[in-house]
Structure 1
Amino acid sequence: MQEDNIKVISRCRPLNQREIQTGAHSILDCNKNLAQVSVKLPDRKEQTSEGQIEGEQTRSFQFDAVYGEDATNQELFNESFRPIVQTVVEGQNGCIFAYGQTGAGKTFTMSGNGTQPGCMPSSFNYIFEYISQQPSTVSFSIKASYIEIYNECITDLISQQTDLRIRQKPEQAIYIENLSEHSCGTKEDLQKILEKGYQNQCIKITQMGQCSARSHTMFIIKLEKTEVVNGEKVCKLSTLKMIDLAGSERPEISRFKEPMMINKSLASLYVVVSKLASQAPHIPYRDSQLTRLMQDALDGNSKTVLMALISPVSQNYEEILSTLRFADQVKKIPNQPLVKVESKQLAANQECPEQK
């Protein structure tokens, strides 16, 4: 794969207690050395969306990294997520997003728990460790926002203002009108924003898991890095987006509006990814709120990594295969992010312009 393509990793969670008690077994083989995950159809006749298959077959997918059930959150961060955060503190946009079936471990990998901090808390820690090591000629301004997309409605999880609108000014990045931004001077400040937003998120009990997020969430960190070079101020603007996508419910599980809207937005994301991979002349970003807000993460203006989360049991065979096929399409998307520099040479007594 070319160096400038979007990075794709896959992670398989271990069997949970309920699956062990019911005698379930894993149909996945995750080879970290080869960065390959193989899916084995159980030794029985199965009816899939592609038709009837008899006997045992194996499908293999190769990505930039593959993590099995023994992998830790810290391992994933050190090897696959930290390089993205590093590019952000250096002035490029970055995006980390988790995709997969409900109950596959997306929120655990992104947020973590008391013993295993996830991608987001580890990113907070790394950003401020980096800042503490910079010379006095370098300063940072950090602001954070937290949103959810639920039934195609954007909500600020901190101010709890709903029905926010996406805007775009000529020659400027896409932004959310009236979204609150909160200055953060420590990693604890970022963690408080994360925890407050999580408390306000739409979480329900589902058939796939006891505690399941039913919305897409996006944690946004905006950084302004100001350096003094030869007596002049140079300001670099960058954004880190960390996205935890809702899992897609099977159509037969529920016919309510909520899972239908989740499926619709994820279907729109799949269409956008497929068209980007094939370099189609028109990309339908406007088909959903999710794809509109992910445009800069997919169109080449961001260092981006997709994390495809999969569960190991045979009952989830179709969802596993669907997730891995999606990830395989993302792997083909070209990506050439740029460093955005505002006012390349500012007088020493001027302020760096605030990022919009």
Structure 2
Amino acid sequence: MPSIRAPGAKKSTTLTVAVKCRPLRHKERGRDIVQVIESKEVLILDPDLSKDYLDRIRNRTKEKKYCFDHAFGPDSTNLEVYTKSISSIIPEVVQGLNVTVFAYGSTGSGKTYTMVGTKDDPGLMVLSLHTVFDLIKMDKRADEFEVTCSYLEVYNEIIYDLLEKSSGHLELREDPEEGITVAGLRCIKKQMPTILGLLQVHSAGKILELLNMGNSRRKTESTEVNATSSRSHAVLEISVKRKGRNKYPNQVLHGKLALVDLAGSERATETNNAGQKLRDGANINRSLLALANCINALGKQQKKGLAYVPYRNSKLTRILKDGLSGNSQTVMIATISPADIQYHHTVNTLKYADRAKEIKTHVQRNVGVVDTHVSDYQRMIDSLQVTEVCQLKKKLAEKESELSSKPAEKAADDELSWLNIISHEISENVQERINLQKAMSELEETNLNNRSELQRLDDIISRHQAVELDGAIVKDLIARRLVILDNIRENDEAGINYQKEIEANEKQRGQLQGMIDEAVSRNGNKTYLRILSQYRLLLNAVTYINLGGGEGEEIEQFWEWLTLSFS
């Protein structure tokens, strides 16, 4: 499916980083060395309390402090992590944008619990799926939704399909339009037509069943650090295609939600693994090292300019390429352990998360059409303008050769030169009108989406205030609401300016047509005037089609007139 980009739709955004600390387990010896300060800062205490005299005098300490977009302590639930870190970007999937969420951390730090969760405390995957389907149910502006689900794992640098009972090895492919794809990966599709705003398919239950089935097939092993250690990286991708009821009936918005649960880094001296478990751990660390190298290179790229990013060193980094630096809004959830024996793992995780804050992505709405592409209309207009102008020049040249007197030839040259100038001005006028109409359409759609999100925020705020939940949540939602109101006001002002420019464009077009009408009324060369009149009508018809006025029988009548005029 070809894709187009709306003018001015691309925006740069930094990768959002959140840190979640799990509770200290009963069997873990030692003390808690992680402190979360004001939901933003993470303080790592020095694990070594037995300092010698020289260390104390010179104030040598391993204590470190980091600052992130969000920080969650051991008492935080998955719902709180979801609400504060990713709930604001999940609705963008239904609006044609890409969203990537991945969990990073050492083994036993709580990545799988954060992404998958339990029945009583569902994880980010489950909460995100419910949000997407709830938004689809509430949307009354679309004719049809198509939701596609795929679930894969990367185990020892080999890709397997978790939706197939006995999946073979799958290969990565690079598609010029779709980007990185997995050949042979099974995709579950659900057609969801809407009738009067009500969905015929109920909820995310089917996809949640597939998620549970895929998790049961995922490769896990018991180690001394974690009883159910994930030995593979899992990627759940939800694709949402939305066909709207606007003035472009074939327009399709295509958004993707990628939810990634990475395997945890581990040290063989801590896990005491041997044999296959040891080889699995080495492969896990190798792929995570490739991911860390990409994060480091992307961080340097933003600070020092262009830098080589080694995406091809691992299949994991190739799959995450779009989420790290491409067309996606990305959130990294770094999970850490508060135990003092995990000090080095915790610091390494926070170092990588701190570097990831420098990464910038370039987000753009994915818009395509099913049968007819907007660029096809543009090519048709350009072809008509170029072809018909060439025909006019050819006929004028033939008339020039028939005239014997030099004054007549000079007059013909003057007329041809004047026609070229007028045709160039009309072409510029038409192109300007097209750009203004597209910009107005984008503004209207953006304001419609802003007002819809504003209504959802008002509903959420009222519900939170009714049950007297955490005031910080309401504060964040109110701040987001003020940003949306500012965007609406700015778009309204821009719309007024665009309308003035359209009126000025219409006035200029009237002046150009008046010049042509005046030339026709002078009764000059009959053949020339007949061609000039046909050229004027042709441009009017082309403009009429481009601006959305000509459809059905009117377009057929226009082509019938064009055939008779030049036969």
**Could you tell me the TM-score, scaled by structure 1's length?**
0.90
Whether the aligned pair in 2 keeps the contact of 1:302 and 1:336 (CA below 8 Å) is: yes
Whole-Å Cα distance in 2 between the matches of residues 141 and 272 of structure 1? 33
Identity of aligned residues (%): 32
Mapped contact 1:300–1:335 kept (Cα < 8 A): yes
Structure 2 Cα separation of the partners of residues 212 and 194 of structure 1: 18
Q: Per-residue CA shift, 1:221-240, capped at 9, x if unaligned?
A: 11101112126232011111
SS at match of 1:37: strand
1:340 counterpart letter in structure 2: N
Distance in 1, Cα, partners of 2:178 & 2:186: 19
1:207 positional shift: 1.4
Asked whether the equivalents of residues 300 and 307 of structure 2 are also in contact (C-alpha less than 8 Å), the reply is no
CA distance in 2, matches of 1:32, 1:163: 46
In the alignment, which residue of structure 2 is the partner of 1:175?
181
* In the alignment, structure 1 residue 271 sits paired with structure 2 residue 297: no
Q: Which residue does the alignment assign to 1:212? A: 229
Cα contact 2:20–2:335 (8 A) shared by 1: yes
Deviations 1:84-112 (A, max 9, x none): 31121211111000000111111111111
Tell me the equivalent position of 1:120: 125
Distance 2:355 2:323 in 1: 15
2:266 aligns to what SS in structure 1? coil
Residue by residue over 1:222-262, the C-alpha shift from the partner in whole angstroms, topping out at 9 and shown as x without a partner, is 11011121262320111111000000111434462111100
| Equivalence map 1:1-356=2 (5 Å) | 4-19=13-28, 22=29, 24-33=30-39, 35-44=40-49, 56-135=61-140, 137-159=142-164, 160-184=166-190, 185=201, 186-230=203-247, 232-252=249-269, 253=271, 254=273, 256-279=278-301, 280-343=306-369, 346=372
- What's the offset of the Cα at 1:32? 3.3
- Equivalent position amino acid for 2:187 in 1: E
* Higher mean C-alpha deviation, range 92-101 or range 253-262: 253-262
Q: How many residues align?
A: 336
Structure 1: runs of 5 or more not aligned: 47-52, 348-356
The verdict on how the C-alpha distance between 1:231 and 1:101 changes in structure 2, with shifts beyond 3 A counting, is: closer
Alpha-carbon distance, 1:44 to partner:
3.1
Distance in structure 2 (CA, Å) of the matches to 1:180 and 1:3: 32
Cα drift, residue 171 of structure 1: 4.2
One-letter amino acid of the counterpart of residue 83, structure 1? S
CA shift digits 1:274-331 (9 cap, x unpaired): 1111114321111001001000101131000000000001100000000000001111
| Distance (Å, rounded) in 2 between the aligned partners of 1:143 and 1:202 | 24
Q: Which has the higher helix share?
A: 2
User: Are the counterparts in 1 of residues 107 and 226 from structure 2 also a CA contact under 8 Å?
Assistant: yes
Q: Distance in 1 between matches of 2:12 and 2:333?
A: 17
Counterpart AA for 1:164: L
**TM-score, with length taken from structure 2:** 0.57
Paired residue secondary structure (2:81): helix
What amino acid is aligned across from residue 32 of structure 1 in structure 2? E
Letter in 2 for 1:286: R
Cα 1:126–1:60 shift into 2, 3 Å: same
Indicate the structure whose relative CO is greater, using CA pairs within 8 Å and at least 6 residues apart.
1
C-alpha contact 2:141 2:245 (8 A) present in aligned 1: no
SS in 2 for 1:281: coil
Distance 1:3-1:71 versus aligned 2 partners, 3 A rule = farther
Distance 1:154 1:54 in 2: 49
Between 1:315-324 and 1:280-289, the stretch displaced more is 280-289
Classify 1:3/1:75 alpha carbon distance in 2 versus 1 (closer, same or farther; 3 Å).
Answer: farther
3-state DSSP of counterpart to 1:17: coil
Q: Partner residue of 1:350?
A: none
Distance 2:226 2:93 in 1: 34
CA contact 2:66–2:350 (8 Å) conserved in 1: yes
Q: Which runs of 5+ in 2 are unaligned?
A: 1-10, 52-57, 191-200, 374-567
Amino acid at match of 2:363: P
The CA deviation at 1:136 is: 5.0
